Structure 1
Amino acid sequence: MITRDPAAFLAFGRGCAPDFGPATAKAAFLVAPDGFARAEQSAADNRYMAEAAAFDAARACAQHRDLQRAMAAALPTVCFPGEPQSPDALFPNNVFATVPGRLIVGRMRHPVRRREAERPDIRAFFAKTLGYAVHDLSGQPHPCELTGALVIDRARGLGFCGLSERCDPDGAALMHEAFGLRATLMFELAPGEYHANVVLAVLAGRAVLLCPDGFADPDAADAIARLYAPHTIRLSPAERAGFAGNAISLNPETVWMSATAAAALAPATREKLARAGFRLQAIALDALEPAGGSLRCCVAEIY
């Protein structure tokens, strides 16, 4: 099922058992912020991106190494070098994603990021080292920025696709097929939002962080909230602006987000995370966040 009907999706989703696959990844990879700078093309539709003066490449690289070091204590984490001609290539989850045995390559909206999809080293790592097949969407015309636009409940095989300039309905359908999902709900993001994973995070298949003001359709937000009740955690505009929605579970017990995001959390939000069985892991990424994304954007999962 792929639909824009929140009620139909909710009815279907409630019948999906958490037997689709592992709720969290077995490994992850990052791309270093070499040549870190403001990408003007990306800034055209990313309101979270800062002005050029806020970019500090040395601090960004140091914080990125700290992120890899922390993640490596939780699961195997590979880091590929960055490319100076791709100044915002530190967000590989928009370009590369996996299901067991298969690498999916997305189609980026902006030309400055399309060159990332051509990287022979990342493709060879999966195809030759891991023996993964490659499902390549990068050459077709419809934008589909993978797990930036599409938030996935891996345990139940459910997708939540935010439509914007970065993903159109045809791109959503291509991703639904590529990931082999049971059902995908398509919904328009609120004006000014560019990716669903800034306003929505499914945590290990049993809880959800949800920013209601990031959805153009309140019925879509409500359907997702009802699907994950009682572990639905609604985030305030201030928490969203701090990137609290850009979080990820790297194992079933922990939710990872930036230190900026953690500092923005209300006490009630922290309590709800604890009640859902999550420990909070916060990493300082304030030098990376001027690029318009945060911790979850940096992480490409390997299933």
Structure 2
Amino acid sequence: MSLLGAVLLLALAGSACGATYKVQREVPEELSASAVVVYPFLFRWPEPAFRSFELSGRLLDVALAEAGERALFFGPSEFKVYRPEDDNAWAASTAVTRLAPYGVRPEQALVLRAWAERRVQSAQGELLDAKGRAVGQNLVEETTYLGHVEVVHPSTRKRVLELSGEVKVDPFAERTDDGADPAPELTRLMEDLTREALRALDDHLRAPREPSPAPARVARVPWQAFEYTEQGRPAHVGALALMDPLDAEVLRQQRLRFANPALETSLLDRMVRLPAGLYVLSAPEGGKLAPGDVILQLEGQPALPQVLARARLAPAPVQAQVLRPSGGTFQIHLP
């Protein structure tokens, strides 16, 4: 049996977050995939629906950076998932319907599922004064996140990759994002696990066609996250409308920063007033897009980074609706 055909158990160090994680790999040599469907992130504790959407978005950003030119990626809001833990994803979701327009057969696609558990341990201790006398009590909590990423080949119902890891929260760590990420240790852990999963699949991803040049470098204007809903988890847009205007503004700024952690505050301040879509940071000179444009729709659907990336691999040009900085909208075809 070849190395790739065997089951490998690896212990790796996650440099970005000080975590350790394990990989169980059973990737058949003959596996060839042109598409990866990224499921909505599954929290094993109560979180608003927009958190699943936006954390999946961060994992999609990692996937596009690793393999955006070698595979088509699909994400939450583009399909429905009825049974997230069912390995027969074609029967447990509507994801398979997204493949045909790109000429991809079901056996040429994979599903990436990410989920996490949270464990909290509490301990009570005494507070002592300078003379060692008890003057009160304090409660100490230690939080540990356990992250998991699974890659499934739905056509054979096989899990070809299983990655897991854990990281402890440092309660004294400096926070520099104004509360944008309520669980930065978890975010970094899941990004690392996703990156490792894509690297393990490196030799098995085959683009359906040669990618065209990137039409622009973009940033997310992530208001679609507030409209995302799942069974039993309502969209947050209604709660947002009922919030105090100042609190709602802070929440929008936080979600914008979470979606674009590398952007400067001055640019985020300008973007907070824009409609949902993809803000063009830069574009090739003489191209169809220009800095300051906002891509509102792609393929008649909300503009998302993975949809823009798929336009480079699509069999035909993709129609885009674009908002100019002056306020006018127009239609173009990408790439």
**With structure 2 as the length reference, what TM-score do the two structures score?**
0.29
Looking at secondary structure, tell me which structure has more helix per residue.
Answer: 1
Q: Relative CO higher for 1 or 2, CA cutoff 8 Å, sep ≥ 6?
A: 1
Looking at secondary structure, tell me which structure has more strand per residue.
Answer: 2
